[in-house]
Structure 1
Amino acid sequence: MHSHLQLLIVEDLEDDMLLILRELRQGGYSLDYVRVETPEAMQAALDRATWDLIIADYTLPKFSAPEALKLVQRQQRDLPFIIVSGTIGEEIAVAAMKAGAHDYIFKGNLARLVPAVERELREAKERQKRHQAELALQESEEKIREQAALINIASDAIFVCDFSNQITFWNQGAERLYGWNAVEVIGKDVRTLLGQDLEESEMLQTVLEKGEWQGECQKLNKTGQIVIVATRCTLVRGEAGEARSILIVDTDITEKKLLEAQFLRAQRLESLGTLASGIAHDFNNLLTPILAISQLLPLKLPDLDEQNHQLLQLIEDNVKRGADLVKQILTFARGGDGKRVPLQIRHLLSEVTQIVRQTFPKAIEIRTMLSTVDLWIVSADSTQLHQVIMNLCVNARDAMPTGGTLTIGADNLVIDESYRRINPEASSGSFVVLTIADTGTGIPAELLERIFDPFFTTKEVGKGTGLGLSTVSGIVRNHGGFVEVYSEIGKGTQFKVFLPAIPQKVDLAVEATAHAHGQNKLVLIVEDEASIRQVTQTTLELCHYKTLVAKDGVEAISLYAQHHQKISLVLMDIMMPSMSGLTAVRALQQINPEVKVVAMSGLATNYEISQEGGSSCIKAFLSKPYTTKDLVDTLQTVLCP
């Protein structure tokens, strides 16, 4: 169940408003809402209440989304503003986003609404946190500069220690920062109080030699939490010049350090995403001809013996596994829902169990507990679910360094209202429940709420990124499910992954072996990689297509201008140097508005092509590496709808 929303909706049609409200309620939100249709009503609503979210139609009889956005920006610039409207021009949508709208959703595609609302509410909260952290950072830096007098730095922690480490003075700033008042600390040893030893540190030696020291320190507050401070130590001398004590001024820079770490992590993720995208493009281009050739050879050499058939099948299987690995890397780097198909979880668990038995230490006993009845079918991306199960199994392994029992199980479950009421994240309906349980060290209760946070990890430096469980949570949520965790120190941890079952009976698809015939239709192949161009041409000709080939967009335009009356379809690589595939497609459409194009890429997706302004003449999309069946079936579908 999501949080309660204060919703301001700018919409003149009540039926459209009701559709939006229904979608949000089905997404788990409870709502207080007000509908407005004019600038005056909008201004009045903004003045009298605080809103969590604004959803606006683009055009109303007496109002518009851009006008509403301007009113919002005068008062609450970070308030999420989502436009839900009918089809408008690309330039208008882009202008609205540049003006400050956070998303644009077509009324015909309201399935995007709840994920968009979740994202924008989450990002608004993060912006608020960053803003608060930045304000705290500015305040801390200002305090550091205020060294003229005690009154100007009274907000810092100021205390005095003698050379036996006894605290002799403690101001209110120190009380606020560390939690103890002066009565509690005067005469106490600073080493046991703050976890800092003046005698054994370089700090004392530097202060005695130079009269001062400054640097960053980690100290402990009253609750045992680490506080990061900018520390300045000054030697206090008596009237005769003798060293008497040390004055210590601590400025809290914990939030500053967290902000710096957040920035560095964001840069790291951005670099990983860029690197992953580049590798994916090149790697998929390498895999495409290998996969196609492994499927072409049995067609060209029908007399191959069984051993050679097995070797070719081994090549094909490993190329497909490599392609799935690339998709998994891209999913982590860029996010996404993946390719979901009806999936029987039992088969996936069997594969993971086999991997775990072969690779985990022998001191870990692997047990499986699968339902004796048939497990229900789920709609899922098998690569992503494989990643979920493996991440949980690896975490379980790491929690049992000296051995233990890892249990992998699955069962069917119908969640009713009573269960849902005591489990806030649950929703009613039929689920397949995956269980990964270990007998390891367990997770402290105070950490359970944080284990799914990005970069949070209890492992040693270099042994964990803190992204494993965050990735698990993200994938499961994208599949419409949720995760529950139960743990007890010294006894172990159990993760339950709930995935919605497909209610109707689904026949799992079986890949056909026969290939369609091209009936001598002419296909123009546009691909800058010579190996892919050659093997694609050979494949299509074996399937009774005629072909023309072009190595780039310029050559493709020239060939199409000469032969467009004969060309039935253009197979176009989108990611090419010099002239992109989308630019070439637009040029072909100028020659023939009815041109049929199948786009292909080892990096971009069909959704990204549409977002880049892909032409309506693009009828289908092929993701590299593609199988011979994928290629021929796609062409057959486009040419014979």
Structure 2
Amino acid sequence: MSIPLRVLFVEDMEEDVVLMVRELKRGGFEPTWKRVDGEPELAAALAEARWDIVISDYSMPQFSGVDALKMVKQNSDQTPFIIVSGIIGEQTAVEVMKAGAQDYFLKSAIARLPIAVDRELRDALSRRKQRASSVALRELQARFYAFMNAAPMPTWIKDAELRYVYVNPAQSAFYGMTPGDMDGLTDFDLMSSGAAQNSQEMDRKVLQSNREIHTQETLFDAEHTAKVLDVVRFPIRGEGKGELVAGLGIDVSERVRTQQDLELAIQRQQILSSRVIEVQERERQHLARGLHDDVGQSLTALKINLETIKKTGSLEGPSLQNGIDIVTAVLAQVRSLSLDLRPPQLDNLGLVAAIRSYVEQKSTLAGVNGWFESGGFDGQQHPDVENTCFRIVQEAVTNILRHAHCANIWVKVEKRGEELHLSIRDDGKGFDLEAARSNAISGTSFGLLNMEERAVLVGGTMDISSALGEGTEIVLRLPVTPIVRRAR
């Protein structure tokens, strides 16, 4: 079966063209051809059709093979070009080959034309495929860089020596650089020695195992801020560069912090749940001890005095006065117990009066100066908010008097718009806040956690600032209308 072939001859002798067409047919081709012998005709032929090959004489009266070669290459550098001449020297042959001709031979050796044409067609097809592959590769690379440059997560590629050969803008910006700045650097140029050593260890595992590895790593960015990254590393085969290791990191710092906060909240809730019964039992023990040791003993003494009066039948003497004194003491003890449970001022006179009374009473008993200030109140507040506010004052003042060794206590409560602001401050020895929080989490100290949870339960917040030797301040913000926290 003949092979179709579109041939453009640049030749002034039609007889020579007929001979070449005959040889092509003998070689298995079925040529469709055209002959031109000047520059205008060649230009028109190149414009009107696509030719598989151009065969040109080297020397013609009004045109030359070299000029024809230039025109063909300008039109399409993929079209094979063969020089055929009656006489051509070796130096001339070298020049035309340098100019871009694929082959040349003498007209006396015209029998080898089909072989040369077949070879050049195959070479041209190979060049077109190679060029198409190169174009496709460049397009793929352009898409890759466009995609990676727009990717928000840091992405990189390292060579076998673990030097950066590619980074996207997100990766270079993480370290405060440009992509070009990072070319050829290693992790030791960017990270702490421990983080760099760990990163390179993971890279080597990827290259050795030829599989991807997922890790979670903490790195410091250009602002010296710790970032938690989910890192995926995987091997790729580089063109002429051996094995490469690529990676990308996804910033999960916020998710990790949220998870830690959630775990901390769950832990605190578990501690609170486990301690509620304990606190209730302690309060009951305190009440029972007060009733038994103080009220009970006083009532027993009163009973003895009454029995004495009954036996003697006389209201004169010390027994009656002792009984009156005992009743007075019992009333004071009952009032004290009642005040500890819930001050009557909170129900009768409101939050401000209850706090003022409590601060004055406790500071007087402890021998310290108690200062109280209030403002902005226009009546009683929501019972839950009042109770929370008073209990936090109660807990805070108790802790101050027990541990702070202070000379002054300042308590200020005021209403600001839709919030109650409470400040409790002392000039005592202060404490290590982080250690106190750790003790609260471990369950060895309950006061701090109890106050914070009380505030949160009604939708409020509480901030504590303290330092050794500089006293302590507690700032509480509560909504006027409590936000109910429902279990989910």
TM-score by length of structure 2 reads: 0.40
Relative to total residues, which structure has the larger helix share, 1 or 2?
A: 2
TM-score by length of structure 1 reads: 0.32
- Using CA pairs below 8 Å that are at least 6 residues apart, which structure has the higher relative contact order? 1
